[in-house]
Structure 1
Amino acid sequence: MTTTSQPSTTTVTATVPPARNEPTQIKSDVDEKVANLSAKRDASWPSVLFYIHLNILGLYGIMVLFTNAYFTTVIFTVFLSFIGIIGVTCGAHRLWAHQTYEANTFLRLFLMLCQTMAGQGSIYDWVQYHRLHHRTFKTSDDPYYSEKDFLHAQVFAHIRNLSPKQEYLLKQVDMKDLEADKIVMFQKKFYWILYLIFFVLLPINAPLEYWDDSIQAALFVTFSLRYLIVLNISWLITSAHFIWGLDKKHKPSDSNMIFLVTKSYWPQYHYLLPFDYQTGEFGNYGSGCTTALIRVFAALGLAENLKTMTSDACKVGLSRSVDTGCPLVDCLTDAGKESMERLPRNHYLNKDKYF
């Protein structure tokens, strides 16, 4: 009787290596490394002392403003404060952080000097922190405490060091576009020299040299009070959502700022679609001073490719998300890019027609 032997598959299966997903393995290793890093943030005592002294000197500057300062110094202080604020809003925020429009060399140089007049560190560092803020918004990894409250975002975030975990995440932020910008990198390399000249020496010297004002006015109004105003207004970029936002946990009445500002819900839209140049940091969508300035820059030929989101694009993006099940933000972003291709180059001059 002949018996038929069955072919053995043991040796075959033993020689086939198990499949391995390399990207998944690498990602899990990175996730594990991040998870093991400490999330504790310690106080930055130099920043704490600086912030305390700046508030004391700035508040004293208010008294000097009304008792011992020329009207020319007051106007000069307001002008410099405005310059610093637009350097952050038009420049660091909308141009470099989110690339909502393109600027020629002259405008980029001007905005770089304006941002230096804000005294908030280099454009490179500001943008790196802000991009991490958007990436980690409403989580404990956000350097600006977007998951806590207004006081944490407006004050505590700026007087504490980053945690080891945040330091690691900060290094992962893609900054190649700014590294290719010669003006940004020039400012980064020589920031403290530019800061000393344009932010400290020239503003203090002007009242003394050109209209013979007092040293008190120059130091405490033109410098300290201006610094305090510009810092706090600029910091609202990352904390304003507590005042104007949609989160029911943070009622506008929780902050006395509600008596100084007009309520709007556009900051929430900005975190959804940050590429829109019209997003109002401190007011209504499309009608703020920063938005108007960007339109003026474009009309003068200094800026171009102003990115925005039309009403029709919003409708298309919402419909796609419902029909296909794709993420809402992805659908809105794609619809927005498609609509931009159909808009005329001077759409910013005809906003009522397209928005």
Structure 2
Amino acid sequence: MAPRNVVGEPTNDEMGPVDMEEVPTTELAVRPHQKLVWRNVILMSALHIGSLYALTLIPTSHPLTWVWAIFYYVVSGLGITAGAHRLWAHKSYKARAPLRCLLALMNAAALQNDILDWSRDHRVHHKYSETDADPHNAKRGFFFAHIGWLLVRKHPNVMEKGSRLDFSDLYADKIVMFQRRFYRPLVLVMCFVVPSVVPWYFWGESLWNSYFIGAILRYCVLLNATWSVNSFAHLWGTRPYDKRINPAENLGVTLSAVGEGFHNYHHTFPSDYSTSEYGWHLNITTVFINCMYYLGQAYDMKKTPAKVVQLRKLRTGDRSS
């Protein structure tokens, strides 16, 4: 295993769970009128309809197209998990410029907002988890946590409390700002052109099948896998590290979201680069980061000591493991 920096239990300043005393209890009951973002409603509806149609094309497509779609699913997923999430949002490890450039491209292939916006929302989510300042507050129900939060205007508390956090490191990162500046053309190429052209060029797949399977279906499934961390993993599962919080260990989410389903651990120890006490097991993202370490591209990975983890499990866990 790669050497790592050890870290202790996180504080709120390290993006741990918010101290509920900071948030008035009446805040959780506030439900102002939410305006629909019709552009998002229409686009998400069209995407899911297109994905259902893509399923009908699978029997007539080349088997390598299926393999390619799965491979590119993992590649684009790592742009979120290893990139926007573990590297930029949590700073749980450091990466050299070539890896950061690669992750920025992979992140564009995932089309889930640029690195700055994604990381900013995620830091707010950790600081104010399960309150109205949480962009995808799971206490507002499964649908809202999964996709509904993207279909309405953000709650005013998200903007107000988010403005209190420090994002200067993101604005100072030239690669993050470059990706933000050229995000639209990067998305066009990485999310739609590349996954469509490769099957057509290399094994003669039709552009129609390539586009709907490699781009549309792959993108839609990836979105839902990412959203499942906000919904399924915040509502169902075990809580061996902290039974007082909503985030839970969810095996289904772990498998679909390339290793991000160890969510009770992650919210308890947010600075841990592996997001799990089990290292690389069932955690493709951790395997990827470790490989990058051996290639000299990742370093200073933070890891919570096993003793700290065990003591925390005894103190606040649900004794499920």
Please give the range of the TM-score, normalised by the shorter of the 2 chains: 0.7 to 0.9
Query: Compared with structure 1, are the counterparts of its residues 279 and 74 closer, same or farther at alpha carbon in structure 2 (3 Å cutoff)?
Result: same
2:296 aligns with 301
Bigger relative contact order (CA 8 A; separation at least 6): 2
Please tell me whether residue 58 in structure 1 is matched to residue 51 in structure 2.
yes
Paired residues of 2:91 and 2:271 also in contact (CA < 8 A)? yes
Please tell me whether residue 102 in structure 1 is matched to residue 94 in structure 2.
yes
Unaligned runs of 5+ in 2: 1-22, 317-321
In 2, Cα distance between equivalents of 1:221 and 1:265 = 25
Paired residues of 1:64 and 1:216 also in contact (CA < 8 A)? no
Please tell me whether residue 271 in structure 1 is matched to residue 271 in structure 2.
no
Residue type at the aligned position of 1:298:
Y
Percent same amino acid among aligned pairs? Answer: 29
Query: Compared with structure 1, are the counterparts of its residues 58 and 133 closer, same or farther at alpha carbon in structure 2 (3 Å cutoff)?
Result: same
In 1, Cα distance between equivalents of 2:97 and 2:33 = 41
Task: Give the CA RMSD over aligned residues.
Answer: 3.5
Please tell me whether residue 135 in structure 1 is matched to residue 127 in structure 2.
yes
1:206-355 matched pairs, under 5 angstroms: 206-239=198-231, 240-246=233-239, 266-280=262-276, 286-287=280-281, 288-314=283-309
In 2, Cα distance between equivalents of 1:103 and 1:38 = 41
Paired residues of 1:149 and 1:250 also in contact (CA < 8 A)? no
Paired residues of 1:124 and 1:178 also in contact (CA < 8 A)? yes
Larger Cα Rg: Structure 1 or Structure 2? 1
In 2, Cα distance between equivalents of 1:110 and 1:156 = 31
Shift of 1:51: 1.0
In 2, Cα distance between equivalents of 1:297 and 1:265 = 22
Q: TM-score with structure 2 length normalisation?
A: 0.77
Residue type at the aligned position of 1:306:
M
Unaligned runs of 5+ in 1: 1-30, 323-327, 329-355
Shift of 1:42: 2.0
Shift of 1:45: 1.0
In 2, Cα distance between equivalents of 1:261 and 1:105 = 28
Shift of 1:309: 0.7
Q: TM-score with structure 1 length normalisation?
A: 0.70
Paired residue secondary structure (2:177): helix
Alignment coverage as a number of residue pairs? 283
For residues 86-132 of structure 1, give each alpha carbon's deviation from its aligned partner in whole angstroms, at most 9, with x where no partner exists: 11111111011001111111111111111111011100000011111
Paired residue secondary structure (2:152): coil
Please tell me whether residue 185 in structure 1 is matched to residue 177 in structure 2.
yes
